Amino acid sequence: MASVAMTVNGKSVSGDVEGRTLLVDFLRNDLRLTGTHVGCDTSQCGACVVHVNGEAVKACTMFAVEADGAEVATIEGQANADGSLNVIQQAFQDHHGLQCGFCTPGMVMSAAALLKDNPKPTEGEIRAYLEGNICRCTGYHNIVKAIMAASGQDVATIAAE
CB of 7 to another protein, least distance (A): 17
Q: How far is the CB of 143 from another protein (least distance, A)?
A: 7
Residue 12 vs 161, nearer CB to another protein: 161
Judged by CB, which is closer to another protein: 139, or 152?
Answer: 139
Sheet of 49-52, strands arranged across? 11-17, 2-8, 71-73, 49-52, 55-58
CB of 12 vs another protein, minimal distance in Å: 19
Closer residue to another protein in complex, CB, 15/127? 127
- Rg of the chain's alpha carbons, rounded to an integer? 16
Contact 28, 18 (CB under 8 A): no
Other beta carbons less than 10 A from residue 123's beta carbon? 14
